[in-house]
Amino acid sequence: MTACGWHFLIRRSLDPVRCLAGCLGLALLSGLSPAQAAGPANSQEGSVATFHARADLVLVPVTVTDKLNRFVLGLQEEDFHLFEDGVQQTVKHFSGEDAPLSIGILFDESGSMSYKLPTSRDAAIQLLGALSKDDEVFLLEFADVAKVSVGFTSKIEKVRDTLKNAQAGGLTAMLDAINAGLLEMKKAKNSRKAIVIVSDGGDNRSRYTAAQIESLVREADVQIYAMGVFDPVFSMGQAPEEISGPRLLSEIATQTGGRAFAASAPADLPSVASRIAVELRNQYVIGYYSSNKATDGKYRHVEVKVSEPAGLGSSLKLHWRLGYYAPAH
């Protein structure tokens, strides 16, 4: 799995869907790759969400891209090979088709988002437009505090109308928002779950630490994506948390097999939103029953490999959920 930092989009549209030459006719779309990190857990005041992978079927969403960072579709179950802590597992569930999604949008309304707010709002609304009738979405707004403004609904107009009234002000409790978002996601009705964070990542208000949240997202069966626009690294007057924002969001997203995307200007955010929407619609979901029957609550590392079709060479890149916690007594 390739490690790298944030990906900056230079005002361009997404590549259209097209076919590779060859008997497989693989469909492709443009793509980007993430960074990797991990963190331990602590306890602090308040209720922290706790999640465990299902004891029976372990589901692993997988994104496959080619050497030009385009999606590769059309792979079959036999092309994938799953390993848990180095031991090969038997694939018992495979889906390459679009499936209903449960999505949470975590929207930053702090003062640091002031001039970015209109475009960020438009990007979030654009993401809503990609949802299907079987999807559901919730909205969580955060600044000094995090609050669920709209609970899970299939009526996207409720979320859209709430976003239109968003106003910037206050500090940034982003980590608290992620914790609250994971708690809300426990109400999801669909097995495919994703959280999309719209923020500059400059947390300066949360009760919870980055290490706590990174540990929680490793436990959660939820993909996390992040999109944001950041001031240049050497901008005058930036606080330390603003400088570290992109790295923090990248670390959090990568734990779940999601992505962290950055725009080089507010006007690029709609392209980021489109990229996330397309990726969520073009993933494989692979499931297996672990051969390790221990109920020790330990973290298990997951690795996914693919047998590359003729004509693509050794160029495929895979992005997947890095692991899960085994059930405990």
Q: For residue 184, is pLDDT > 60?
A: yes
Choose the weakest-confidence range: 26-35, 109-118, 140-149: 26-35
DSSP-based three-state secondary structure for 209: coil
> Residue 12: inside a domain, yes or no?
no
Name which residue leads in pLDDT, 127 or 42: 127
Q: 130 and 92 share a domain?
A: no
Residues 6+ apart with CB under 8 A from 43: none
* Averaged pLDDT, 95-118: 93
Q: Based on the fold, state whether residues 274 and 290 are members of the same structural domain.
A: no
pLDDT at 237: 53
132 with 227, same domain: the answer is yes
In a domain, 36, yes or no: yes
Percent of the chain with pLDDT over 90: 57
- Give the pLDDT band (50/70/90) at residue 166: very high
User: Is residue 144 one of the residues assigned to a domain?
Assistant: yes
**9: in domain:** no
49 within a domain of the structure (yes/no)? yes
Do 265 and 297 belong together in one domain?
no
Q: In CATH, what number is assigned to the domain containing residue 179?
A: 3.40.50.410
Residues 172 and 222 in one domain: yes
**Per-residue pLDDT tens digits for 228-250:** 777 655 455 555 566 677 888 88
SS3 state of residue 304? strand
Mean pLDDT of 112-127: 92
> Are residues 195 and 272 located together in one domain of the fold?
yes
Same structural domain, 115 and 76: no
Do residue 73 and residue 187 come from a single domain?
no
pTM value > 0.75: yes
pLDDT one-digit tens code per residue, 191-201: 899 999 999 87
Q: Does residue 110 sit in the same domain as residue 91? A: no
Among residues 280, 295, 316, which one ends one of the domains? 280
| 5 domain-assigned | no
- Enclosing domain of residue 314: 18-97+284-325
271 and 128 inside one domain = yes
Name all contacts of 273-276 with Cβ < 8 Å and 24+ positions apart: 273/123, 273/124, 273/126, 273/127, 273/227, 274/14, 274/126, 274/130, 275/9, 275/14, 275/30, 275/31, 275/32, 276/127, 276/196, 276/225, 276/227
- In a domain, residue 4? The reply is no
Provide the pLDDT for residue 315. 82
The per-residue pLDDT for 251 is: 87
Q: Which residues touch 134 (CB under 8 Å, ≥6 apart)?
A: 100, 154, 190
Asked whether residue 105 falls in the same domain as residue 91, the answer is: no
Q: Comparing 224 with 1, which gets the higher pLDDT?
A: 224
Looking at the structure, tell me whether residues 307 and 276 fall in a common domain.
no
Domains contained in the chain, number? 2
pLDDT-derived band at 312, boundaries 50, 70, 90: low
Asked if residue 7 belongs to a domain, the reply is: no
